[in-house]
């Protein structure tokens, strides 16, 4: 119950918070340019809120993979803005700075990006991958057991709305041939519609196969469903999604590699997976 409430709170956080921060940044700029006297408090508010707006805007406009847990620049700028704003202590910009700036960025870095993920005994290295159902983009139903006899990289991603997933898929596409040379078949799975996955497939430019997890049935059976994981405002994707998960199985269907990230900004790079595979094959 508590985890469900936390997930719902996170669903309501990202987009509304970003819109508020954009409004505060615009208001701060207007005061800095329009007031007769220069205000350290409004400068502090802009420094505290603006960098996070820029960061989140860049993430959604130019997706890329975060390989570190903590984003230093917005945190440092929020602290600097807080120092400047308390010098004058104008009520409104001081509130903006401390609540939306410093408070907001700390919430984003240390709370929002974490997935509240528990240990999953079903998806550990050395365990047989449980059987689950999938659908091709054409609607054909199949079982995960149909891939037995092949080395498979299973990539569960949240959907086209997720910039980190976009970056992860683009990274895998760049190394598509390297996986093929090692006899590894890629299986990309998400709960989004076949139409959305087909659009993603065409953008990547390589024949990586996409599959659909209808109503998150596979994610539920594997213990990787993310209740209320789709942010408010992402239309056409429902409410629930899947926790980002990367698994590799050998020809017998045994898991030989597992990455169950607890932070949605952190995904395993394709090069790291390939190096791990090469080490296992020695």
8 and 58 assigned to the same domain: yes
93 and 159 assigned to the same domain: no
Domain endpoint, select from 55, 87, 112: 112
Checking if the pLDDT of 62 tops 80, the result is: no
Of the CA atoms within 13 Å of residue 104, those in its CB half-sphere come to 32
Checking DSSP bridges between strand 184-190 and strand 151-156, what pairing results, if any?
parallel
182 and 265 assigned to the same domain: yes
Q: What is the DSSP letter of 259?
A: E
- pLDDT at position 1: 55
93 and 137 assigned to the same domain: no
The whole-angstrom separation of Cα 13 and Cα 50 is: 17
For 29, the enclosing helix (H) or strand (E) is: helix 14-34
91 and 169 assigned to the same domain: no
Over residues 42-57, the mean pLDDT reads 89
Checking if the pLDDT of 65 tops 60, the result is: no
Of residues 243, 137, 245, 141, the one with CA closest to residue 197:
137
Residue 183 token pair: 């006899």
- pLDDT at position 136: 96
**Residue the block writes with tokens 């509240």:** 116
Checking if the pLDDT of 54 tops 90, the result is: no
pLDDT per residue over 222-266, tens digit each? 999 999 999 988 989 999 999 999 999 999 999 999 999 999 989
The whole-angstrom separation of Cα 15 and Cα 13 is: 6
42 and 148 assigned to the same domain: no
The whole-angstrom separation of Cα 212 and Cα 138 is: 10
130 and 105 assigned to the same domain: no
Domain endpoint, select from 112, 129, 162: 112
- Compare 59 and 141 and report the one with higher pLDDT: 141
pLDDT per residue over 193-232, tens digit each? 999 999 999 999 899 999 999 999 999 999 999 999 999 8
Domain count, the chain: 2
140 and 60 assigned to the same domain: no
Q: Which residues pair with 185 in a beta bridge?
A: 152
The domain spanning residue 187 has which CATH number?
Answer: 3.40.30.10
**Residue the block writes with tokens 């809120």:** 49
Mean pLDDT of the chain: 91
The parent domain of residue 253 ranges over 121-281
Residue 282 banded pLDDT, cuts 50, 70, 90: low
Q: Based on the number of CB atoms within 10 Å of its own CB, is 134 exposed (0-12), middle (13-18) or buried (19 or more)?
A: buried
Q: Based on the number of CB atoms within 10 Å of its own CB, is 88 exposed (0-12), middle (13-18) or buried (19 or more)?
A: middle
Residue 3 banded pLDDT, cuts 50, 70, 90: low
Of the CA atoms within 13 Å of residue 167, those in its CB half-sphere come to 19
Residue 64 banded pLDDT, cuts 50, 70, 90: low
- pLDDT at position 23: 95
Hey, is 72 helix, strand or coil? helix
Checking if the pLDDT of 56 tops 80, the result is: no
139 and 267 assigned to the same domain: yes
89 and 229 assigned to the same domain: no
Domain endpoint, select from 112, 135, 170: 112
127 and 103 assigned to the same domain: no
Checking if the pLDDT of 188 tops 60, the result is: yes
In 10 A of CB 186, how many CB atoms?
21
7 and 102 assigned to the same domain: yes
The whole-angstrom separation of Cα 239 and Cα 232 is: 8
Of residues 194, 174, 172, the one with CA closest to residue 248:
172
């Amino acid at each position: 119950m508590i985890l469900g409430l936390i997930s719902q709170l996170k669903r309501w956080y990202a987009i509304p918070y970003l819109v508020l921060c954009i409004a505060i940044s615009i208001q701060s700029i207007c005061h800095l340019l329009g007031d007769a006297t220069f205000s350290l408090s409004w400068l502090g508010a802009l420094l505290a809120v603006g960098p996070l707006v820029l960061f989140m805007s860049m993430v959604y406009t130019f997706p890329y993979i975060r390989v570190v847990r903590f984003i230093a620049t917005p945190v440092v700028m929020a602290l600097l803005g807080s120092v400047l704003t308390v010098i004058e202590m104008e009520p409104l910009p001081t509130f903006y700075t401390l609540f939306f700036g410093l408070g907001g960025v700390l919430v984003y870095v240390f709370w929002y990006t974490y997935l509240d993920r528990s240990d999953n005994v079903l998806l550990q290295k050395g365990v047989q991958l449980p059987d689950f159902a999938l659908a091709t983009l054409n609607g054909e139903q199949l079982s995960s057991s149909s891939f037995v006899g092949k080395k498979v990289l299973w990539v569960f991603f949240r959907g086209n709305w997720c910039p980190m997933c976009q970056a992860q898929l683009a990274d895998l596409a760049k190394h598509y041939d390297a996986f093929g040379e090692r006899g590894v078949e890629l299986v990309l799975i998400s709960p989004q519609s076949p139409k959305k996955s087909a659009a993603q497939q065409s953008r990547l430019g390589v024949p990586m196969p996409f599959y659909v997890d209808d109503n998150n049935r596979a994610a539920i059976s594997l213990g990787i469903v993310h209740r209320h994981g789709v942010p408010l405002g992402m239309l056409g994707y429902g409410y629930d999604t899947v926790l980002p998960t990367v698994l590799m199985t050998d020809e017998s269907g045994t898991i030989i590699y597992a990455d169950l990230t607890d932070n949605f900004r952190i995904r395993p790079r394709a090069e790291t997976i390939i190096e791990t595979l090469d080490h296992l094959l020695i």
